Chains A and B, each alone.
Chain A
Amino acid sequence: MTTESLPVAAARPARRRRIRIGRSTAWVLLILALVLTLFPFYWMIRTALTPAADLATDTSSIWPHHATLINFERVLGLTTTAQDIAAGGSGATLDFLVSLRNSIIYAGLIAAGQTLLCAMAGYAFARLRFRGRELLFGVFVMALMVPPIFTLLPNFALVKSLGWIGTFQGLIAPSLLMTPFAVFFLRQFFLSIPTEVEEAAALDGAGRWIQFWRVVLPMSRGPLFTIGLINAVWGWKDYLWPLLVGPDQNTRVLTAALGIFLQQSPNSAPDWTGLMAAAVLAVVPVALLLVFFGRRLVESLNFTGIK
Chain B
Amino acid sequence: MAGTDLSGGAVAVAARQRPWAARGESDARRGRRPARRGDGRIAWVFLAPALIGFALFYLYPTIRGAYFSFTDYDLLSSPHSVGFANYTALWHDPLYWNALRVTLQYVVINIVSQTVLALALAWLMFRLTRSVLVRVLLLVPWLVPNVAVGLLWLWLLDANLGLVNHLITAVGGSSQGFFTTPSLAMPTIAMINTWQYTGYTALLFYAGMLQIPGNLYESARLDGAGELRTFTRITLPLLRPILALVLVVSLIGSFQIFDTISITPTHGGPINATRAVYYYIYELAFTQFRMGYACAVAMTLVLILGLLTFVQMRLLRASRSDLS
Question: Given A178-B54, A233-B5, A234-B1, do A26 and B127 touch, yes or no (CB 8 Å)?
Answer: yes
Docked CA distance A137–B192 (Å): 36
Find the residue from B14, B18, B26, B43 having the highest chain A CB count within 10 A. Answer: B43
A24–B80 alpha-carbon span in the complex (Å): 68
Indicate with 1 or 0, residue by residue over B137-163, a CB within 8 angstroms of chain A CB atoms: 111110111111001111110101101
- With A147-B298, A234-B5 as known contacts, state yes or no: A128 contacts B46, CB within 8 Å: yes
- In the bound assembly, the distance between CA atoms of A8 and B220 in angstroms comes to 11
B177 at the interface (CB under 8 A from A): no
Inside 8 A of A272's CB, which chain B residues have their CB?
Answer: 155, 158, 161
Cβ A151 vs Cβ B263 within 8 A: no
For the complex, what is the distance from the CA of A236 to the CA of B144, rounded to whole Å?
A: 9
Residues A282 and B148 in contact, CB atoms below 8 Å apart: yes
- Is A197 located at the chain interface by the 8 A CB criterion? no
Collect the chain A residues with CB atoms within 8 Å of residue B68's CB.
153-154, 157
B234 at the interface (CB under 8 A from A): no
A110 to B49, CA, bound (A): 13
A180 to B51, CA, bound (A): 11
Evaluate whether A4 and B39 lie within 8 angstroms (CB atoms) in the complex, with A41-B140, A157-B291, A239-B145 already known. Answer: no
Q: Once the chains bind, are A149 and B256 in contact (CB under 8 Å)?
A: yes
A44 at the interface (CB under 8 A from B): yes
Among the stretches B106-114, B182-190, B301-309, the one at the interface with A is B301-309
Min CB distance B150 to A, Å, is: 9
- Which residues of chain A from 275 to 307 have a CB within 8 Å of any chain B CB? 275-276, 278-279, 282-283, 286-287, 289-290, 294-295, 297-304, 306-307
Most buried by A among B40, B57, B225, B305: B57
> From DSSP, what is the main secondary structure of chain B's interface residues?
helix
Question: Which residue, A7, A33, A176, A238, has most C-beta atoms of chain B within 10 A?
Answer: A33
Q: Which residues of B contact A40 (CB under 8 A)?
A: 152-153, 156, 195
Q: How far is the CB of A95 from chain B (nearest CB, A)?
A: 15
Q: Chain A residues with Cβ under 8 A from B298's Cβ?
A: 147, 149-150, 153
Q: Does B238 contact A (CB under 8 A)?
A: no
Residues on the B chain within 8 Å of A286, using CB = 140, 143-144
Q: Give, as a whole number of angstroms, the nearest-CB distance from B136 to chain A.
A: 4
Q: Is the CB of B147 within 8 A of A255?
A: yes
B204 at the interface (CB under 8 A from A): yes
Q: Considering only CB atoms and an 8 Å cut-off, how many residues of chain A contact the other chain?
A: 121
Map CB proximity to B onto A151-181 as digits: 1 under 8 Å, 0 otherwise: 1111111101000000000000111111111
CB-CB under 8 A from A300, the residues of chain B are: 12
Asked if B259 contacts A4 (CB within 8 A), the reply is: no
Which single member of B6, B155, B252 contacts A275 (CB below 8 Å)? B155
Whether A192 sits at the interface, judged by CB under 8 Å, is yes
- A144 shortest CB reach to chain B, Å: 7
* Residues 172 to 219 of chain A near chain B (Cβ within 8 Å): 173-181, 183-185, 188-189, 191-192, 207-209, 212
**Interface: A250 (CB within 8 A):** no
Do A282 and B143 touch across chains, with their CB atoms under 8 A apart? no
Task: Give Cα distance in the complex from A111 to B18, angstroms.
Answer: 24
| Interface pair A306/B18, CB less than 8 Å apart | yes
In the complex, which residues of chain A have a beta carbon less than 8 angstroms from the beta carbon of B146? 237, 239, 255
Q: How many Å from the CB of B157 to the closest CB on chain A?
A: 10
Hey, what's the 0/1 contact readout for B199-230 against A, CB within 8 Å counting as 1? 11001101110110000000000001111110
Name which of B59-67, B86-94, B314-322 contacts chain A.
B59-67
- B83 contacts the other chain (Cβ, under 8 Å)? no
Bound complex: CA A124 to CA B46 (Å) = 6
Classify the interface of chain A: helix, strand, loop or mixed.
Answer: helix
Mark each residue of chain A from 237 to 272: 1 if its CB lies under 8 Å from any CB of chain B, else 0: 111110010000000001100110010000100101
Asked if A148 lies at the interface with its beta carbon under 8 angstroms from chain B, I say yes
* B10 in contact with A184 (CB, 8 Å): yes
By CB atoms of chain B within 10 A, which of A30, A128, A156, A237 has the most?
A237
Q: Which residues of B contact A155 (CB under 8 A)?
A: 57, 61
Chain B positions near chain A (C-beta within 8 angstroms): 1-3, 5-6, 9-10, 12-19, 22, 25-26, 30, 33, 36, 38-40, 42-47, 49-54, 56-58, 60-62, 64-65, 68, 73, 75, 119-121, 123-125, 127-129, 132, 134-141, 143-148, 151-156, 158, 160-161, 163, 166-167, 170, 195, 199-200, 203-204, 206-208, 210-211, 224-229, 231, 252, 255-256, 258-259, 262-263, 265, 278, 281-282, 285-286, 291, 294-295, 298-299, 301-302, 305-306, 309
What are 21 A-B interface contacts by the 8 Å CB criterion? A2-B123, A4-B227, A6-B227, A8-B226, A47-B155, A56-B160, A139-B54, A149-B256, A149-B258, A154-B64, A156-B285, A177-B54, A180-B54, A185-B10, A234-B5, A238-B2, A290-B136, A297-B139, A298-B135, A300-B12, A304-B207
Given A155-B61, A240-B262, A282-B144, 12 more A-B residue pairs with CB atoms under 8 Å apart are A29-B124, A30-B124, A30-B128, A30-B134, A33-B138, A151-B61, A156-B285, A158-B64, A184-B14, A239-B147, A258-B151, A262-B263
